Structure 1
Amino acid sequence: MFVVTLTYIQPLTEVDKLLAAHVEWLKGGYASGMAIASGRKVPRDGGVILARGERAELEAWLAQDPFAVGGVARYDIVEFVPSMAASGFEALTTA
């Protein structure tokens, strides 16, 4: 499993121009099973994606993000193996 953090490297005005395309790209990640959860950071200086799959596939998918293509975000990937989860989230430990 992976925690991907996005950090905006351009002004929000530039990020917002690509937001609709980014959301459509995320929907594809959910449809494929790669994306598990996503959302904005607070304050809004980037975002977070919880993902699963193979690292090479994840990196290829991230490279297609309109935020990456448009050069408005930097990505950091942390891989981890979930061994415990809160009630209701047990499926995460088998991902």
Structure 2
Amino acid sequence: MFVVSLNYKVPLTEIDQLQAAHVEWLKACYAEGIFVVSGPKKPRTGGIIIARCPRDVLDARLAADPFAKAGAADYDVTEFVARMTTGELDDFKEA
């Protein structure tokens, strides 16, 4: 599993112009079963994505994000093993 931290590199006015396309990209990644949860940081300096897929698939999807294509965000990816979860997230536990 991966934690992806997006960090905006451009003013929010530029991010807002890309937001609709970014949301459509997110929806496609959810439909593929790649993303588990996502949302903006507070304060709004970027976002967080939790993903469950092979690393090469994740890298390809991140490269297709409209924010990435526009050079509007950097992505910091951290891999981790989900050993403990709350009951409703037991399906995400890894060996």
- In structure 2, what is the equivalent of residue 33 of structure 1? 33
| Deviation by residue 1:37-94 (Cα, 9 ceiling, x = unmatched) | 0000000000000001110110010000000001110000000110000121111104
Deviations 1:8-46 (A, max 9, x none): 000000000000000000000000000110000000000
- Structure 2 counterparts to residues 1-20 of structure 1, below 5 A: 1-20=1-20
Question: 1:71-82 to 2 correspondence within 5 Å?
Answer: 71-82=71-82
CA distance in 2, matches of 1:75, 1:62: 8
Matched residue SS, 1:89: helix
TM superposition score normalised by structure 1:
0.96
| 1:19 partner SS | helix
Give the aligned CA root-mean-square deviation in angstroms.
1.1
Amino acid at match of 2:63: A
Name the SS for the 1:71 alignment partner.
coil
Q: Which amino acid aligns with 1:88?
A: E
CA distance in 2, matches of 1:85, 1:60: 28
For residues 38 and 82 of structure 1, the distance between their equivalents in structure 2, rounded to whole angstroms, comes to 17
Task: Name the SS for the 2:88 alignment partner.
Answer: coil
Q: Which residue of 2 aligns with 1:86?
A: 86
Alignment of 1:37-76 (within 5 A): 37-76=37-76
What is the aligned-residue identity percentage? Answer: 54
Letter of the 1:40 counterpart = P
TM-score normalised over the length of structure 2 = 0.96
SS in 2 for 1:33: coil
Q: Distance in 2 between matches of 1:10 and 1:86?
A: 36
* Residue aligned with 1:59, SS: helix
For structure 2, the 5+ residue unaligned runs are: none
